[in-house]
Amino acid sequence: MKTKKIKDLRPKSLKDHHMPKNYDISLKAYGGGGKAKSLNPITKKLKTQSMKGFETQYKNIIDYIVRITFRIWEQKDIGYIYDTYSHDCRVWDEFGLQSGAEKIVADTVHTNNAFPDIRLFADEVIWAGDEDASFHTSHRTIITGTNTGYSKFSEPTKKSVRLLCIANCVAKNNEIYYENVVYDTAALIKQLGLNVNIVAREIAKEGNIGPFAPDFKNSKPTRITRNSKPLNFEIPEKISNVRDFVEAVFNSIWNRRNFSTIDHVYSDDVAFEGSTGRKFKGKKQLRNFIISMIATFPDMALSVEDIYWMGNNHDGYSVSIRWGAIGTHSGNGSYGPPTNKECYIWGITQWHIENNKIVKEWTVFNEFGILVQLLGDK
């Protein structure tokens, strides 16, 4: 009996010429997001772009992303997902691969029931691509709400929450057909007044989630070459190519373990915001966090899976980076005593670069998913 082949919807990586060279179409130019007064483009002089196959009401890709999010989540037109997600869409989140618009609708109904007053404030949208190659968007949001309904974690707690989320979507002809989304789930659970470790164990027992493997473009990442040592990447003083800069920085820090790279590429007062409510100011705290992660997973190998950006040397760059890693939990750290379990780690990072330095970073990764993998019986 032949096995039915699943259609591969994985989008092709964008080329350098797909990257916007300025901020004419940006969230700042749009006037912000998440509030009703900012969602009426008729009164605005929005820059338009060619969007073949999209509803004519949308002037550009920022307009599309912000307004469909508002309509679905805050106006509660959840059925609009059927018009803006393909029927066979693929959505990777902290709990694995979700397939099909019907599953996305069900999950959205569940979340709205748990948090009836949910709000999603657009904090940034980095975009690239076009109507032919597909539009790629990295949508950073601040989510707020009050837990007055049942959630997958507990009965109603009446607690208010605020968390960070980054959703990387790929859209064509008015439909999102591929998405990688990561919520700060661990922070959400803590704010609900629950014990994250206990919830992780309970979720693991259910056994209906996963696989946890990141959406690796190729095979699993490796960091040791034939010469039995990681590659050494030269970090440029000035950024001539954003893609090369990103690859060099990630590989140098995470795979080569050259933590002095942090001093060269980050500004002295870099602002960092990340999973489980982490907020850092300055390079020292950022370096300590990275070292602690690698100490916990000493053989961690990381690969950069997707990169796109907007901007230029004069105005600065806004960059979206999706990455995946694999490592063995054989070191001591915040995730408890070593379990010697192989663990998948993935996340989305956004950088804002000015004068060849990273001045702001947002990184959301599957921290709750890590705990589920480590604390489960398997």
Tens-digit pLDDT profile for residues 6-62? 456 688 899 999 999 999 999 998 887 666 655 665 546 789 999 999 999 999 999
The pLDDT mean for the chain works out to 91
pLDDT band at 268 (very low <50, low <70, confident <90, very high): very high
pLDDT band at 5 (very low <50, low <70, confident <90, very high): very low
In a domain, 10, yes or no: no
Contact present, 77 and 46 (Cβ < 8 Å): no
- Note whether 302 and 169 are same-domain residues: no
- Note whether 294 and 181 are same-domain residues: no
Percentage of the chain lying above the pLDDT 70 cut: 90
Residue 361: give its domain's CATH number: 3.10.450.50
Instruction: Check whether 317 has a pLDDT greater than 50.
Output: yes
Mean pLDDT of 189-199: 97
pLDDT band at 2 (very low <50, low <70, confident <90, very high): very low
Residue 245 is predicted with a pLDDT of 97
CA distances from 14 to 7, 26, 305, 307, 309 (A): 20, 18, 12, 8, 10
If one counts every other C-beta atom within 10 angstroms of the C-beta of residue 93, the result is 18
**Is the Cα torsion angle 83, 124, 215, 13 positive or negative in sign?**
positive
Percentage of the chain lying above the pLDDT 90 cut: 81
In a domain, 35, yes or no: yes
Instruction: Give the 3-state secondary structure of residue 264.
Output: helix
Instruction: Check whether 1 has a pLDDT greater than 50.
Output: no
Instruction: Give the 3-state secondary structure of residue 160.
Output: strand
What is the C-alpha end-to-end distance of the chain, expressed in Å?
Answer: 31
CA 208, 212, 213 angle in degrees (round to 5)?
145
What confidence tens digit (pLDDT) does each residue in 94-116 have?
888 899 999 999 999 999 999 99
- Note whether 272 and 126 are same-domain residues: no
- Note whether 269 and 165 are same-domain residues: no
Number of domains in the chain: 2
- Note whether 187 and 246 are same-domain residues: no
Sheet holding 266-274, edge to edge: 279-281, 266-274, 357-365, 342-354, 316-328, 301-312
Mean pLDDT of 254-262: 97
- Note whether 41 and 123 are same-domain residues: yes
In a domain, 367, yes or no: yes
- Note whether 127 and 41 are same-domain residues: yes
Specify the amino acid at residue 209. I
Instruction: Check whether 279 has a pLDDT greater than 70.
Output: yes
User: Could you tell me the residue range of the domain that residue 162 belongs to?
Assistant: 16-194
Residue 4 is predicted with a pLDDT of 41
- Note whether 273 and 369 are same-domain residues: yes
Domain boundary among 194, 209, 227: 194
- Note whether 164 and 253 are same-domain residues: no
Mean pLDDT of 226-236: 85
- Note whether 251 and 179 are same-domain residues: no
- Note whether 59 and 177 are same-domain residues: yes
In a domain, 5, yes or no: no
- Note whether 184 and 276 are same-domain residues: no
Residue 213 is predicted with a pLDDT of 65
pLDDT band at 229 (very low <50, low <70, confident <90, very high): confident
Contact present, 316 and 352 (Cβ < 8 Å): yes
In a domain, 203, yes or no: no
Query: pTM to 2 decimals?
Result: 0.94
Tokens of 346: 């993935």
Domain boundary among 158, 174, 194: 194
In a domain, 95, yes or no: yes
DSSP characters over 337-371:
S----EEEEEEEEEEEEETTEEEEEEEEE-HHHHH
Closest alpha carbon to 14 in 124, 126, 134, 131: 134
- What are the start-end ranges of the H helices in 58-210? 61-69, 81-84, 101-114, 185-191, 196-206
Domain boundary among 167, 194, 221: 194
In a domain, 105, yes or no: yes
In a domain, 228, yes or no: no
